[in-house]
Amino acid sequence: MAASKWYPEVEYLRGFAIIGVIAIHTTVQFTQLSNFDIFSFSLAFIDVISHFAVPIFIIISGLVLSTKYWISFDRRSFYRRR
């Protein structure tokens, strides 16, 4: 099995996505407010733009798996371990 490469940029993307997930979880309750002011609008805006985090985690998972199994890929052992 080939050794996977380590990319520091992936760690930066992962940290950026973690901040997005934290923003989603902290601002989700403010999107259901009945009054409309600049504070609730800004929190709703933060909630909407922070939904990039989950697709970034999926892309990172695909990138890490592809760099790990790029050279030699044995499907039987891959599915056996999962």
Instruction: Determine the Cα–Cα distance for residues 33 and 38; give it in Å rounded to an integer.
Output: 12
Name, in order, each residue with C-beta under 8 angstroms of 42's C-beta and a sequence gap of 6 or more: none
Confidence grade of residue 59 (pLDDT, cut at 50, 70, 90):
very high
Q: Is pLDDT above 70 for 3?
A: no
pTM exceeding the 0.75 threshold for the entire prediction: no
Amino acid of residue 72: S
- How many other C-beta atoms lie within 10 A of the C-beta of residue 19? 11
64 vs 35, residue with greater confidence: 64
Residue % of the chain over a pLDDT of 90: 23
Does the structure show a pLDDT above 60 at 2?
Answer: no
Say yes or no to pLDDT of 33 above 50.
yes
